[in-house]
Structure 1
Amino acid sequence: MRWWDIDPVLELERALFPEDAWSRGMFWSELAHARGADATRLYVVAEEADGRIVGYAGLVAAGEQADVQTIAVEHKLWGSGLGARLLTELLRAATAFECAEVMLECRVDNVRAQKLYERFGFEPIGFRRGYYQPGNVDALVMRLSDPSTSLNGARGTESNG
């Protein structure tokens, strides 16, 4: 993801997460840490042949731990495997950052995403009560130990990602 991707990413962000969409400033801040020798983040976009952005994902690394910040796929592409491909890119980045584990939070009511993460070896380790606002929805905290082991693809098919 580059600065010129922010506006189309924001459109998709607002369509997918209308109640708690990230702001332009949040994306700018993340991208400010994604370049150079001291980079601690990786943000990627998925584009159609015409250049239209249909998905994006981001990861932050700190020491031996990485955190998936976001994964988003346009509704019409749910089930196409795009989510799995984006997650694979994040796990490659975590491996390149030499992270020993990857963490993420997922809405407890987002079973589709949970199944994707489980196929990659993520395991539930706890909850964050009222994490998603508005709505006071809990987050399921998941962890993947040794992200390099998931780089050859998820267990099972990519048809649900």
Structure 2
Amino acid sequence: MIFGTISSRIISDLIINENSKYENIFNPSRIKPIAGFTSFVEENAVVAFDFIKDKLFKEKITSLHEINEGEAKVVKYEGDSYALYKEATGKVHLVKSTCPHAKCEVRWNSAELSWDCPCHGSRFNINGKILTGPSVMALQRVDPEDS
């Protein structure tokens, strides 16, 4: 509805005054799709590379005790991928490492003590709870005693 109103305003201005103050804002040729194409391809190539690399190359561990206190890692354990954080007190926080939004592998952010998804920026606390979206689901929490 609003575009119909603004269109009629622009058309009447062009007929009467031969120009319109809204002409450039709504000009269809103002968008240059090729201008950002190179950076678009580069950014998406990096995302694709990281997605594949993170899925294939994970440190394999045989015991949760291999992680040092105060350390966080994404590891492969008994065939599954986990995000593991061990507090200085020795308490272990274990979540599935795959972001529910885009299925990318989260990475540890030591400055914020959070798990961050490199694909779209979702952030999770050490227990997998959402800090920021776009993900609307938390990381699946796992009881370290069961693993």
User: In proportion to residue count, which structure has more helix?
Assistant: 1
Higher RCO (C-alpha 8 Å, min separation 6): 1
More strand by share: 1
TM-score (norm 2): 0.27
* TM-score normalised by L of structure 1: 0.25
Max radius of gyration: which structure?
A: 2
